[in-house]
Chains A and B, each alone.
Chain A
Amino acid sequence: MTPAEAASSRAEGLWDATSGMPRFEEPDWTQVAVERSTMRKLQRRSDLPGLARFGAYLGLLVGFGALTVLAHPLWLKVILFLAYATVYGFSEPILHETHHRTPFRSLWINEVAHHISGLFAFKEPLRDRWLHAGHHTYTYYSEIDPEIATDRPPQFGTLIFDFMRIHNALVNWLWPTIRTAFVGPDDLARRWVPKAYHRQLIWSARACVAFYLGVIALAVAIGSWYPILFIFVARFVGAPLHSWVTFIQHAGLEENVADWRENTRTVYMNPLLRLLYWNMNYHVEHHMHPTVPFHSLARLHEEIASESPPPYPNTLVAWNEMIRALWRQRREPSYSVHRPVPLRSGGPPAAAAESPAILAEPGAS
């Protein structure tokens, strides 16, 4: 059972069958306030930065893809395919940004990018948008967050396996899409997505399945493995670099605390990674103010820096901390890394919000 499945199982009794809403009280998240006029500037939407970033992503795919086809000898072809696949793996941050509808001002452009990136990530995008809303409400609340990546104690075998997204992409994402297309929404979707939206999910899932079947049909029709390589094999072969930057978002930090500064990492990354990752290295900032688009997160980081823990200088430092914490959790599952959250000047500790309570015991109603 994966952490997501375990959380889902544990959360079974936490849902109100009538309203469809969790009986888990919404955490009262601590937020570092940003002056209103500054926030308005940071929130500002424009199509241009998103189009440039999405264009760069598609351009790199087309470029590396074409070179892969044309290249000789084989070793060069393999290297170029690895480059293609590594870029391809960064469909996930595009899907994520477009869940929030922040990268573009024009909704239709956002939704086109949303569906394309969902196809490449093997995630049916509408279901995933609802689950991701749950992750933002209950970030790293072990009972209920639908996106928790590690269990306690952690299962290192699954983590290593998933460095290539093998389990997540196939079992947690692609399989529910196929199931939704032919049978209807899975348990997790039924829990998080209101019934009125199930038809949308089903048709979106059918469109995804039709696309994947179309890729296979194309491969057969032209008698080439390239469509299979570029759409399916690349998903796994190219996943490690994306896993390298995304695994460190929350793992090893405090669970069940209503302060993103304690359960989320902001990690400095080089410009190339920031380009591919759509600046999601500013992850505390993203959780605290998710209306701020990717291109303004660095400025938001500066705005809240004085009331935030020091950012990690690079991914190696963050990985070192995370792995040590997960290793210790094997014998001490309750162990978490404690982040040094600054006190607010002249006031109580900024992380004063209390943990929420379960509104009713599972099965009590």
Chain B
Amino acid sequence: MAWVAVAAAEEIEEEDVIEVSVGELVLAIYRTRDGYFATDGICSHQRAHLAEGLVMGNIIECPKHQGRFDVRDGSAKGPPAAIALRTHPVKIADGRVHVDI
């Protein structure tokens, strides 16, 4: 467990997502009205970068097949998404987004 600063908090607009890489780990960092969240950056269904998808409320919709996940707990919310995304704890400190990986 280690906290890693991955982006400036202001870099992410509300209802949006960016992709960051930490070593070989690809992460999607979300900002919603409920705060900042992090999940694995690649869709659990098939190969697609979630940061190219669409954030609506607390839902990320995959750009490839429009499978839906709740970014807060990674749960699959709409086919063809069927397997939950792995989530990562997030905190904001000194204006930066930190992810526990």
Query: Do these two chains really belong together in a complex?
Result: yes
Query: Which B residues touch A196, using CB under 8 A?
Result: 82
A130 to B45, alpha carbons, bound, how many Å?
12
B-binding residues in A (CB < 8 A) = 26, 39-40, 43, 45, 99-102, 105, 107, 126, 129-130, 133, 136-137, 194, 196-197, 289-291
A291 to B43, alpha carbons, bound, how many Å?
15
Known: A136-B64, A137-B46, A290-B66. A129 touches B79 (CB 8 A): yes
Decide: A291 and B53 in contact? CB cutoff 8 A. Answer: yes
Q: Is B33 an interface residue (CB 8 A)?
A: no
Decide: A26 and B56 in contact? CB cutoff 8 A. Answer: no
Known: A101-B78, A196-B82. A133 touches B56 (CB 8 A): no
Nearest-neighbor residue (CB-CB) of A44 within chain B: B54
Query: Which B residues touch A99, using CB under 8 A?
Result: 66
Decide: A289 and B63 in contact? CB cutoff 8 A. Answer: yes
28 examples of A-B residue contacts, CB within 8 angstroms: A26-B47, A39-B52, A43-B54, A45-B54, A45-B56, A99-B66, A100-B66, A101-B61, A101-B66, A102-B66, A105-B56, A107-B78, A126-B79, A129-B80, A133-B45, A133-B65, A133-B67, A136-B64, A136-B65, A196-B82, A197-B79, A197-B82, A290-B64, A290-B65, A291-B53, A291-B54, A291-B61, A291-B63
Decide: B79 and A130 in contact? CB cutoff 8 A. Answer: yes
Interface secondary structure of B, over-half rule: loop
Contacts between chains A and B (CB distance < 8 A), count:
45
Query: Which B residues touch A126, using CB under 8 A?
Result: 79
Query: Which B residues touch A45, using CB under 8 A?
Result: 54, 56
9 A-B pairs with the lowest CB-CB distances in the bound complex, closest first: A133-B65, A133-B80, A100-B66, A194-B82, A43-B54, A291-B63, A101-B66, A26-B47, A291-B54
Decide: B63 and A26 in contact? CB cutoff 8 A. Answer: no
**Shortest Cβ distance from A202 into chain B, in angstroms?**
15
**Shortest Cβ distance from A78 into chain B, in angstroms?**
41
**Shortest Cβ distance from A18 into chain B, in angstroms?**
14
Looking at A26, A43, A130, the one whose CB has the most chain B CB atoms below 10 A away is A43
Query: Which A residues touch B16, using CB under 8 A?
Result: 40
Nearest-neighbor residue (CB-CB) of B51 within chain A: A36
Query: Which A residues touch B79, using CB under 8 A?
Result: 126, 129-130, 133, 197
**Shortest Cβ distance from B80 into chain A, in angstroms?**
4
Query: Which A residues touch B54, using CB under 8 A?
Result: 43, 45, 291
Query: Which A residues touch B61, using CB under 8 A?
Result: 101, 291
**Shortest Cβ distance from A350 into chain B, in angstroms?**
18
B32-84 interface with A by 8 A CB criterion: 45-47, 52-54, 56, 61, 63-68, 78-80, 82
